[in-house]
Every structure is written in C-alpha cells, then in structure tokens.
Amino acid sequence: MKKNNTISQLLNSSLDDYLSSSKKNLLIGEDINDPYGGAFKVTKNLSTKHKSQVFQMPISEQAFSGAAIGLTLKGYNVVVEVMFCDFMTLLTDNLINLGSKYAKLANDSMTGKILIRTAAGGHRGYGPIHSQNVEQLFFGWPNIEVHALNRFNDPGLLIKDIFNSKNKINILIESKIDYPQKLFKSEELADNEFELSKLDDHFKGSFLKNIKSNKIDILFFSYGSVVKEVIEAANKLLMEEELFSGIVVPNRIFPHNQFYKQIIETYKPNKIVVVDDGYDQNGWGAGILSFLSNLNIDFNLDDIIILGSKFDLIPANFQKEKSHFPNSSSIFNKIKS
Amino acid sequence: MNSKDLTDITKKFLRIRFFEDSLDYLFLKQKIFGTYHRCIGQELVAISLTYYLDKKNDYVVSNHRNHGHYLAFKEKYADLLYEIKGDPRGSTSGNGGSQVICDKNFFSNGIIGSTIPLAAGIAFGIKQDKSNNCVVCFIGDGAMGSGLVYESFNLSSIFNLPIIFVIEDNKLAQSTHTTDTISGNFIDKFNAFNIECAETNDQDIQVLLNKSKEIISLTKNNQKPYGLVVRTNRLCAHSKGDEYESRDEILFGDDPLINLKKMINNDEEFKKIEKDSKDFIKSIVAKI
C-alpha cells in the first residue's frame, strides 16, 4: 500500500490485485472501461490490463446484478460497480429474493462470491437522487452483509477479507467524498487527541480513544463520510466540556457486531451516540439500538442518541445541503443539549 | 424419432403427468402443504427441450412452474416430492419447496422474470470457461411483461451468451389472458435484440423435438442466444389455491398426450407404458 495514495487510488490498486490473483475474478459495471474508467475513476486502466475479466455493462442494473449471481453458480467471483448508491434500489429484488435465498439454497453450487461496490453520500451538490445512502434497504436480510469503507483501513485488505469470508453476497458502501482523500495519519488523529487501535483485525473495524486517558464519557458509533465530523465534535467536547470520547468505526455495518458489547462493558460510557449519513428514523442507528437491547448489556438504553440527516429530500442547493447532513456542530450541540 | 425415443418420451410424459396428478391427492391427505404450480398439459415442452441436453454439464433455469422441467432434466422424482413436502431429503434439502429448486445445474425461483438474468449469468460463465455447453431458460408468456426479461435479452445478445430462451406460451398469466396484457408478438421482441427465434407448438411432437435438437446444437456451436416460442396449453389451474378454476382453455385445450398415443399406434404397448409409469409414481408417493 502506498501511504500517499488517495482512497480511490487504493481501491484501484486493490481491484488490480484482485483481478491479477485469479482468472475467475471478474469486474462488471457501467462505464468502467478505459478511457473513462468509471464515474469516480476507481476502475481506471483495469479494462486495458485485464481485458478478459472486466466487462462494461449496459444500463441494466437489474440484469447485470442478476447475472452476477448466475456467475457465482459457475464459480466466478464478481465485483459489481454500481455507479451511485441511489441505483441500489434496482438491485433489491435480485439481492433479497435471489441472492439472499440462493446463498443458502444453492450453497453447494454457489462457489463464487459477489461484492457490490457503490458510491454513497452527499456533499457534492448532486441533489436528491445522486447523494443518498440507501444501504438501510439491505440491512436485515440473511446472507447479505453490508460493509463501509473508511479512512482508517486499506480498502485492499477489506476487499481481500470480504472475499475470504464465508459470506457470499456482500455490499461495500463507499463515501464518494472520501475518494480523493487519503487514509488518516496518526499525527492527524493525535492533533484531535485521538489514538487509533484496530479491533483485533481490520475486518472488524477501528476504535479511537483519547490518547492520554482510558476514560470514555461518550461512545460514538459511526461510519462513512460523517466520521470526520464525529472526530471534530469529539475534540470540541473534550476542549469545551471536558468530556472524553471513544469512536467505534466498524467495517461491517450489517449484521451488527458482537464486539460492541465488549467495548461498552469495558469503558462504561455515560452516553452512546450513533451517527450516520442516513435518516435517523428506521436506519442504522435504530438497528444498533435494537441490537444492543438484545445483548443484555448493563446500559440504560435511554442514554442512546441516534443522529442522522434531516428527514427530508437532500437539497439540490449546495449551501442547503451542508445543513442537511450531521456536522460537527450539530453533533456537539445535540450532545450538549 | 425411433421407437426407443418414442417409448422413452412417452414414459417421461406419463411419469410427469402422474406425478402432478398425485399432488392434489397428497394435499387432500395432508401429506403436503402450501402451494404448487402444476404443468399438466405442458409436459412435452419440458421433455423436448431437455431431451438432447448434456445432463451433467448443461444447465436448466426454470420458474415457479418448474416440476416438469426438473423431472424431465434430472429425473429425480422422489427428491422433488420430498422437496415439495419440505423434507430434508428433498432436492434443495427441503428448504426451497415447490418453487425454489437448486440442484447442481438446475435452478428455479418464484419471482417471475428474476431467473432470466440468473440464466444469462450462468451462460456468461459458460462463455468465460470456453466450454461447449448451454443454458435452457424457460419463460412463461406472462413474464414477457417484465422489463427485466428485455434487459436480459439485451445482455445476452451483446455478449453472445449460449442461452436458449424458451417461451412456453400457454396464453395465460395466472388468470389473465396475455393478449390482454402483452402487446406485440414474441418473435419480434427477440428480433429487436438481434436474437434469432423460431416458433412451434407441442401438438406436432416430431417438429418440436427436431426444433429442440437443432436449436440446442446451434446454441452450443455458435455460442450465442436463440429464442424458441412454443404454443402450449395449461390443462390445470394456475396453482393449488386456484384448484377450482375452470376456463375454456383449461377444460378444452389440446392435450399432446393424445398425439403421443397416436404415434405409438399400439394400444397394448401404450397401456403397458401407462401402467409402468403409474406404478412408478405410486412407489414414489408411497415413500412420503
């Protein structure tokens, strides 16, 4: 891994490694061929280098995602690029009625795996249908796992782990504003009084806590582009309110992770705050609340705050869009109140 | 068709017919539950299109009305009955039931249209493997209302996938006449995607068999998609829940069994095949 590479460059090189490692590894999607190389350039040069494994698809998300499931029955692994997360609604039938079922019912024949990568989130002024996080549609189905890229982990290791895991139908949510960013450096985190530790292995995720103290007053759970805002809010809480924070950034966002219990019981926070870019009602945070309620944890569930975007369409107006999603100030203010 | 083929096909036909007939009996006896979609009247389409396939390396992708396809291709009668019952000895370990069968190179699902891209994906894999095989994908005429079918035709044509789309045109989508809901004709729809398509029916058995053999050979040799529209009749209700459905098409539609009997042209021989087939299914039914 080249440390100075951007997230999209790291993704590109991890897909290059994936395609080089086996002729049975394929990449499909819209506009992924050279010279265009994908809407976010993640697939640049791959169609030239791996001509027999990279296939540009027609604008037929339903057909090519269904075909990807068919390919797994012939032993092929398939990375499917879905240009915008908004288009994932078109995959629901294939993933829920076919993929989720066949992962169990055709287990012996389905010797390949699928990873659907998609660019999610706002902050680019793309308006209400190119800025959404619709991954909540895929939370709650057997055999479908949803992962999210973050700036703490090399995407290549995550992709490798996903293909090495037992699960066959996988989704990877990629924050589009993170594509041009680099991985967080430890100095950057230290500036915010944080140190980073990995949760056993990079498959699980990352955990940030204060560099000098083991005390955690507020434990955040977050993923996606909003993590940066959470770090800033946590820093402000320390500086202005003398509240210590911990931040859990899981790589796998569904199914929820058992290790949450261990962290909560170890650090005994006063509050748990779940922040993501989706809607706070019926989204990831609501799922975590329900998950924790079944874990038999010694924690008052009334002390959980769920924060998400405003329950409205994402504004096309770039200035208005800024206040649509949670930011460091709105997170800070909500906790303070 | 030689006499051995004729006997073989008649035997398969009658076994499938008696298998389907036995389901209502088993339901009444509370040996099986839920619902199922029988293929009475359409048996010969399944038999013809699978008769010349490589049973080990070719693929069949079916839909909710899959019993005939599965039995014609895999000939695993007990496994299917166990599956319908939800018994772990079933072809999908009793987890899929009547509609979702997954058995090595046979796949079906109950969402109309959803299996078409799945079949295209398997054909894509065959193409990547550079093997000389193909996929037979059965589609009901009602599924031609689904946009996903056309996305899949396009995909198959663009990538020259070795797949045969067989439209079983029984003229009914559950209870609706497809002429009321689907515009245009099916052959034009294939041609629009640059897919060659032929048309036949299941009354002229020899023609259907010849056409099946030819199209399988063309698909394998040319490694590209073909379409085949087969006019047929569903001589039973749509599903278990519609058991008392009675319509002209169902009550008075042509039964290819009559023509099979004529082709055998020997009452004694036909009766023997009939008795053997009935006894065979009885022995399967006795297992559950």
What pLDDT shows up at residue B244? 61
CA distance A175 to B113: 32
- Closest-CA residue of B relative to A65 is B117
Please name the member of A58, A71, A93 whose beta carbon is closest to the beta carbon of B158.
A58
Residues of A in contact with B119 (CB under 8 A): 70
Compute the average pLDDT of residues B104-115.
95
Alpha helices in B30-132 (DSSP H): 43-51, 67-74, 77-85, 115-129
Helix, strand or coil, per DSSP, at residue B117: helix
Compute the average pLDDT of residues A290-317.
91
CA distance B109 to B139: 11
Q: Is the peptide bond before A35 cis (omega within 30 degrees of 0)?
A: yes
Q: Do A93 and B104 touch (CB under 8 A)?
A: no
Q: Do A101 and B126 touch (CB under 8 A)?
A: no
Tokens of B134: 């193909």
A153 pLDDT band, cuts 50/70/90, is confident
What pLDDT shows up at residue A2? 60
B245 pLDDT band, cuts 50/70/90, is low
Whether the per-residue pLDDT at B251 is higher than 90: the answer is no
What domains can be seen in chain B, in order of their start residue?
A: 3-285 (3.40.50.970)
Please name the member of B109, B120, B121 whose beta carbon is closest to the beta carbon of A97.
B109
Please name the member of A55, A62, A97 whose beta carbon is closest to the beta carbon of B117.
A62
Other beta carbons within 10 angstroms of residue A4's beta carbon come to 8
CA distance B149 to B151: 6
What pLDDT shows up at residue A301? 83
Nearest CA among A143, A142, A119 for reference residue A130: A119
Phi, psi values for residue B179, rounded to 5°: -65, -20
CA distance A331 to A273: 9
CA distance A79 to A162: 11
What pLDDT shows up at residue A84? 96
- Chain A nearest C-alpha distance from B246 (Å): 31
Q: Please state which of the ranges A45-49, A108-112, A317-321, B14-18 shows the lowest mean pLDDT.
A: A317-321
CA distance A205 to B141: 49
Does residue A226 contact residue A278 with C-beta atoms inside 8 Å? Answer: no
What pLDDT shows up at residue A201? 57
* B9 sits in which H/E element: helix B3-28
Amino acid B91 reads S
Phi, psi values for residue B9, rounded to 5°: -65, -40
Amino acid A58 reads P
More confident site: B175 or A87? A87
Phi, psi values for residue B7, rounded to 5°: -65, -45
What pLDDT shows up at residue A3? 59
Model pLDDT for residues A175-220, shown as the tens digit of each residue = 999 999 999 988 888 888 888 877 665 558 899 999 888 999 999 9
Residues of B in contact with A93 (CB under 8 A): 111, 114, 148
Q: Is the peptide bond before A155 cis (omega within 30 degrees of 0)?
A: no
CA distance A56 to A78: 13
Instruction: Tokens 């999603």: give the residue.
Output: A325
Compute the average pLDDT of residues B92-97.
96
Q: Please state which of the ranges B82-86, B134-138, B175-179 shows the lowest mean pLDDT.
A: B175-179
Residues of B in contact with A98 (CB under 8 A): 109, 111, 114-115, 118
- Chain B nearest C-alpha distance from A92 (Å): 11
Q: What is the pTM of this model?
A: 0.96
Percentage of chain A modeled with pLDDT above 90: 83
Q: Where are the beta strands (DSSP E) in chain B?
A: 59-62, 102-103, 106-108, 135-140, 163-169, 172-173, 176-177, 196-201, 226-231
Whether the per-residue pLDDT at A1 is higher than 70: the answer is no
Q: Is A212 exposed, middle or buried (0-12, 13-18, 19+ CB in 10 A)?
A: exposed
Compute the average pLDDT of residues A296-313.
91
Model pLDDT for residues A78-100, shown as the tens digit of each residue = 999 999 999 999 999 999 999 99
Model pLDDT for residues A244-301, shown as the tens digit of each residue = 999 999 999 999 998 999 999 999 999 999 999 999 888 999 999 999 999 888 888 8
Asked, colleague to colleague, whether A7-178 and A186-336 share their fold, the answer is yes
Nearest CA among A115, A74, A71, A123 for reference residue A91: A115
Does residue A91 contact residue A129 with C-beta atoms inside 8 Å? Answer: no
CA distance A177 to A84: 12
The CATH number of the structural domain formed by A186-336 is: 3.40.50.920
What pLDDT shows up at residue A186? 87
Compute the average pLDDT of residues B12-21.
97
Output the CA torsion A206→A210→A213→A215 (10° steps). -70
Compute the average pLDDT of residues A152-162.
91
Overall fold of domain A7-178: Rossmann fold (3.40.50)
Model pLDDT for residues A225-242, shown as the tens digit of each residue = 999 999 999 999 999 999
Whether the per-residue pLDDT at A316 is higher than 70: the answer is yes
Phi, psi values for residue B264, rounded to 5°: -70, -40
Does residue B9 contact residue B213 with C-beta atoms inside 8 Å? Answer: no
Compute the average pLDDT of residues B202-220.
96
Model pLDDT for residues A40-73, shown as the tens digit of each residue = 999 999 999 999 999 999 999 999 999 999 999 9
Domain range list for chain A: 7-178, 186-336
Tokens of B101: 């069968």
CA distance B136 to B165: 6
What pLDDT shows up at residue A196? 84
* B18 sits in which H/E element: helix B3-28
Other beta carbons within 10 angstroms of residue A270's beta carbon come to 13
- Closest-CA residue of A relative to B91 is A105
Q: What is the overall mean pLDDT for chain B?
A: 94
